[in-house]
Amino acid sequence: MKRDLDLIRQIMLTLEEKMEYGKNFKSAQLIEVMQDKTLSAEKLAYHIGLLVESDFIKAKEHKYYGDEPIDYLINTITSQGQDFIDTIRQDTTWNKIKEKAYDIGGFSLSLLVDIGKEYLKKQIGS
CB 12 within 8 Å of CB 56: yes
d(CA 23, CA 15): 12
Query: What average pLDDT score do residues 52-80 get?
Result: 84
d(CA 13, CA 56): 12
Query: What average pLDDT score do residues 85-100 get?
Result: 89
List of domains in the chain: 5-78 (1.10.10.10), 85-125 (no CATH)
CB 59 within 8 Å of CB 73: yes
Q: Between 97 and 37, whose confidence is greater?
A: 97
Quickly state the pLDDT bin for 17 (edges 50, 70, 90). very high
What H or E segment, with its residue span, contains residue 61? strand 57-62
Query: What average pLDDT score do residues 46-65 get?
Result: 88
pLDDT reading at 24 higher than 90? no
Radius of gyration of the chain (CA): 15
Question: Which tens digits make up the pLDDT trace of 100-110?
Answer: 888 887 778 88
pTM over 0.75: yes
pLDDT reading at 90 higher than 70? yes
d(CA 17, CA 123): 26
d(CA 50, CA 53): 5
Coil/strand/helix, residue 21:
coil
pLDDT given at position 85: 94
